[in-house]
Every structure is written in C-alpha cells, then in structure tokens.
Amino acid sequence: MPIVQIDFFEGKTVEQKRVLAEKVTKAIAESLNCPETAVSIIMREMKTDNYAKAGRLWCDN
Amino acid sequence: MPIVQIDFFEGKTVEQKRVLAEKVTKAIAESLNCPETAVSIIMREMKTDNYAKAGRLWCDN
Amino acid sequence: MPIVQIDFFEGKTVEQKRVLAEKVTKAIAESLNCPETAVSIIMREMKTDNYAKAGRLWCDN
Amino acid sequence: MPIVQIDFFEGKTVEQKRVLAEKVTKAIAESLNCPETAVSIIMREMKTDNYAKAGRLWCDN
Amino acid sequence: MPIVQIDFFEGKTVEQKRVLAEKVTKAIAESLNCPETAVSIIMREMKTDNYAKAGRLWCDN
Amino acid sequence: MPIVQIDFFEGKTVEQKRVLAEKVTKAIAESLNCPETAVSIIMREMKTDNYAKAGRLWCDN
C-alpha cells in the first residue's frame, strides 16, 4: 500500500517503464508521506482499438 | 469522468468495439446527464481460461 | 461476463443509476452480441477531491 | 457478486488457474457466507516489466 | 504480487473480512505456488444500488 | 490516457491529494512522453480493515 494501476497505450520501452516506476513511486512516497518500499505499481498496456474517448475508438482518430 | 472499464472475452471485431464505444458512451451521457466528450472507456479482452464463474474456468464449460 | 466498472462523481439519484444500468446493459448486449443477463455492472461514486485531470484536483476547478 | 480480480505474473498453467478458481471461490463463499455460484473471478497475467515494487521493475530484480 | 481486488456488498463484519483474508491468501499461495507474504488483498464494499445484474439494480430485486 | 488508479488508506488531507495529483501527473508525463493534460487520476480511500497483506488485515497489525 499504496497500490497503483496505470493504463497506457502499448509501445513503450522497458526503459520508459523503468523511469515511470521510479518517478511515480517517488511522487507518491513524497506526497502521501510513506516509504518508497510500500508502493506497488501495475502497468497495463492497451491497444488503440481498446480505448475510446467521446464515443470514438482511439484507432479511429 | 465518467471512466468505464469493460472486461469481455477476446474475439470481438474492431467494428463491434466501435459500436460498443458509441452505444455505451451515449447510454452513460444520457443517464448521468454529462457530455459524451467526458466519457472514457477502457476495454480489456480476456482468454476463457482467465475467467471463472462458480469455481469453474470458463474454458472448462 | 461482460463485467463493467464505472467511476463517476457522487450525487447521482437511484433513478439515474437505474436508468444507467438499463441503458448500459442494453448497449453492451447489442454490440457484443450477448444476453443482457450476462452483464454485471459495478458503480463507484467518487468525491471531487478524489479525481484529478491534468494534475489538478477536480474540486479545485 | 462477489467479483474478484487477481493480477499475477504470466507463466501459470491452466491447471494452476483451475485450482485457483476452485480454492478462491470456496474461500470467498465460506467467509462471506454466499453461494459459490455467485462468485466471478477475473485473472490478469502480467509480464515482469509491467510490475514495480519500491520503484523498481520486477524484471530488474 | 499477486494483488487481489474483491468487490462485495457492504454489511460484512470485521471478523468475516479477517477470515476472508486468511482463506483467500492461503488459496492463492497454494494454487500459484507463492509465499503467503506476497499476497495483497483490497476489499471494496458496495451499496446495493451500486451494482446491477441483467440491467437491474440489486436493490430493486 | 494514461489513466491512473491509486488505492491508499483514508486519512489524507486535500492538500496531500493536491500534491499527489501534481507530482504523479508530472512523473507520468515525463516518463511516457505525453502531455500532462492527458493524465487522469482516480484516488480510492480505504479503511484499514479493507486491506490485507500476508493473510492479515491491516487493522490487526
């Protein structure tokens, strides 16, 4: 705890996820005043035909 | 906001997801009285061995 | 299956949720070609200080 | 209802998921005093570069 | 990891949640072959007007 | 997109959530190379009897 779930589009590199993990963990630990070791992050990669905004699939934009 | 997450079995076409996005967005905007542009939808496709009902994997039915 | 999770701001009436349930269920059954009895919907009500867009709490808008 | 979502690392066999479904359903039915037929379980398989603990990707451990 | 999310109706006692935590953790550790210390469980309590099945709010049944 | 969900224990101030929103949004925008305006964050506050680690409710620690 805290437990974080992040949905984003596929196509990110492992290095981008590495930086994401470091930065988000630090951001949460600082703002919620908890140790970084307490933070878990689940990332979910999504295809652009699995997300819609305003009734429209992202792949159709 | 609103943010919608829908889990369903894999095997749907992009056209089915397109219609899903349109119809669900309209349904939410009408019932919650918000603009369609405010609605986000995340779809998650699932294999039948990743879902269980009544203690039984779906792929075993 | 399908299983739907919808996050929206608190303050909706039971009648609005009733209409939401009917309309979203119909929208999903029609587009994914499944029976309405198969659709489950979880609604989560959120306070405006528990949602942020663009780095800003909704209650600060 | 109840609806369960379980995130774990990929690489499990269908037999492991089968046992998971049986045991978790029984555990929930017994403790919450509900019929086993009411329990739905969604399993999500994750790559080790999509999970981080303490600011560090699991694949880097 | 594994991380579990369970949605159920409000009205359970702390003792029921205690038993749920023990039993579900054991069920997962045994079936996925991981230590019990690795299992996290988030429980979400829901009002009966925040869940719908087959297009119908649970509170209307 | 990206969409973030964060579960943490209740008892945080609005100011802590404000800082959380700012810092997490910046962390994600920088690491995934997307505009800050694209980031949505849902926060969920949890009672200590609704979280378990290692088979034990947090309120029992």
Closest CA to B19 of A51, C40, A58, A57: A57
Residues of chain F with pLDDT under 50: none
Chain E residue set in contact with D, beta carbons under 8 Å: 1-9, 12, 16-17, 19-20, 23-24, 26-28, 30-34, 46, 51, 53, 58
Q: Closest Cα of chain E to F50: distance in Å?
A: 5
Residue of D nearest to C5 (CA): D3
Strand C40-46 and strand C3-9: pairing? Answer: parallel
The answer to whether residue D1 scores a pLDDT higher than 90 is no
Per domain, the residue ranges of chain B are 3-60
Q: Which CATH superfamily is domain E3-60 in?
A: Macrophage Migration Inhibitory Factor (3.30.429.10)
Counting residues of chain B whose pLDDT is more than 90, the rounded percentage is: 98
Q: What is the pTM of this model?
A: 0.98
User: Which chains does chain B touch, 3 or more C-beta pairs < 8 A?
Assistant: A, C, D, F
Mean pLDDT of the B50-61 span: 97
CB pairs under 8 A between A and E: 8
E35 is a catalytic site residue: no
Q: What topology is assigned to C3-53 in CATH? A: Macrophage Migration Inhibitory Factor (3.30.429)
Backbone angles phi, psi at C16, to 5 degrees: -65, -40
Mean pLDDT of the A24-38 span: 98
Residue B5 makes CB contacts below 8 A (sequence gap 6+) with B41, B42, B44, C4, C5, C6
Give chain A's mean pLDDT.
98
Instruction: Kindly report, residue by residue over E35-47, the tens digit of the pLDDT.
Output: 999 999 999 999 9
Structure confidence at residue D12 as a pLDDT band (50, 70, 90):
very high
For chain E, where are the alpha helices, taking DSSP H only? 14-32
Do residue B3 and residue F1 have CB atoms under 8 angstroms apart? no
CB-based touch D/F (3+ pairs, under 8 A)? no
Do residue A25 and residue D54 have CB atoms under 8 angstroms apart? yes
Instruction: Kindly report, residue by residue over B8-35, the tens digit of the pLDDT.
Output: 999 999 999 999 999 999 999 999 999 9
The answer to whether residue A60 scores a pLDDT higher than 90 is yes
Instruction: Kindly report, residue by residue over C7-61, the tens digit of the pLDDT.
Output: 999 999 999 999 999 999 999 999 999 999 999 999 999 999 999 999 999 999 9
- Of the two residues C1 and D60, the one the predictor is more confident about is D60
Structure confidence at residue B1 as a pLDDT band (50, 70, 90):
confident
Do residue A40 and residue D50 have CB atoms under 8 angstroms apart? no
Q: How many Å apart are CA C61 and CA C47, to the nearest integer? A: 13
ipTM for the whole predicted complex goes beyond 0.95: yes
Indicate the residue of A7, A56, A59 with minimum beta-carbon distance to B42: A7
The answer to whether residue E8 scores a pLDDT higher than 90 is yes
Indicate the residue of C37, C39, C45 with minimum beta-carbon distance to E50: C45
Do residue B52 and residue D25 have CB atoms under 8 angstroms apart? yes
Do residue D30 and residue E7 have CB atoms under 8 angstroms apart? no
Backbone angles phi, psi at E20, to 5 degrees: -55, -50
Question: In which element (H, E) is residue A7 found?
Answer: strand A3-9
Counting residues of chain E whose pLDDT is more than 70, the rounded percentage is: 100
The answer to whether residue C2 scores a pLDDT higher than 90 is yes
Mean pLDDT of the A6-33 span: 98
Backbone angles phi, psi at B7, to 5 degrees: -100, 130
Mean pLDDT of the D20-31 span: 98
Q: So what CATH class is A3-48?
A: alpha beta
Residue of C nearest to B20 (CA): C31
Q: A15 and F30 in contact (C-beta within 8 Å)?
A: no
Do residue B2 and residue C8 have CB atoms under 8 angstroms apart? yes
